[in-house]
Amino acid sequence: MKKIITILLTAVLALAAALIGSQPASAALVPGTFRPSASNTGIPVGTVLGSLGVPSKPFVITVDGTVIDGMNIYGDVKVQAKNVTIKNSYLHGGNYIPSGNSGVVDANSNLVYGLRLLNNYIHPDVPSYYRDGVVGHEYYAARNHVWGTNDGFGVFNKAGLSSLANVTIEGNYVHDTIYFRNDPAHSDGTHNDGVQVQGGENIRIYANTIVDSGITGPFGGDPNKPGAPAPHGHGCSVILQNNTGTALKNVVVDSNWIDDGLASTCIKPGEVTVSNNRYMRNQWHWNNQPSGQQYVIRIDSRSKTIVHGLNTNVWDDTGAVLTEGRNSGIWYNS
């Protein structure tokens, strides 16, 4: 296990060094005017990084208005303050296994408000089935490069708090989630998602590249789907659901580039907007169901779900509009 982690860490650091040295000044790019990729998200070229935190314990922020710029940050970041900004930094996470679901950035505290995450690498040195990229509420994330996490972004407000999530995710590049077969939450291994919305109001997912492609974690691939990269079998690039007791309201998924996953966009009962997105054809269903299940948007219930803008989504390669049907892009489970 230690040898595997060492190999992963060495490869991660080499990739990060190459990326930092080859990027344009991504901070000047306006989401919606560019297609996010490794070359135009994350730390701007020429940034010299300092160092904060230690990998053996969380990095806790409790002072309102804290600004962190140009740092390697070690330890999972726990935000417990208002109007915090983290930008132009490499967020390494901790070298321990979290005790429960969390993230390299954890914004679950009821003290969080106005968190801004700009032009960062969000990539754990030590992946875990409990370590997502960013989780919580009251945050704005733009032009971040997120990879090697369980889920990329998690959006929700805890039951009993305000129903408002107040999250905007735009212009980010999310890819290469890591599959673990021994996930305590799922008997069939981790259900890796690029963006998982679990409840709340005022959520905007705009102009990101979200690719739920997978890396097999240190505990092996999925024995139930031989030959298929594991996350393609279980997760969604974008999933919209209500797991927290807070109904989805004013949730918009617009103008993204979306690929991979079981189905690229999974929609549970509720009212949402999914519009103007461009879909590619690397979903697990597309490549592994010869009987015909070639759809990229899966809606659980026709009678319990309203999806605005559904007929504005297109195939990226042809520009053709997605239509309802197993082989034409959109499928209702019931």
Q: Which residues contact 223 (CB under 8 A, 6 or more apart)?
A: 181
Residue-range definition of the domain harbouring residue 32: 2-332
Please provide the average confidence, as pLDDT, over all residues in the chain: 86
Token digits for 25?
């000044």
Position with higher pLDDT, 18 vs 272: 272
pLDDT above 50 (res 6): no
> Cα 39–44–47 angle (5° rounding)?
140
Half-sphere exposure of 99 (CA within 13 A, CB side): 2
Domain count of the chain?
1
Task: Give me the pLDDT at residue 188, please.
Answer: 65
pLDDT above 60 (res 77): yes
Helix (H) or strand (E) holding 226: none
Task: Give me the pLDDT at residue 274, please.
Answer: 98
d(Cα 236, Cα 239) in Å, to the nearest integer? 6
- What would the DSSP string read from start to end of 227-272? TS-HHHHH-BSEEE---SS--EEEEEEES-EEEEBSSSEEE-SEEE
Token digits for 61?
């922020």
* Cβ contact 179:149 at 8 Å: no
d(Cα 180, Cα 218) in Å, to the nearest integer? 7
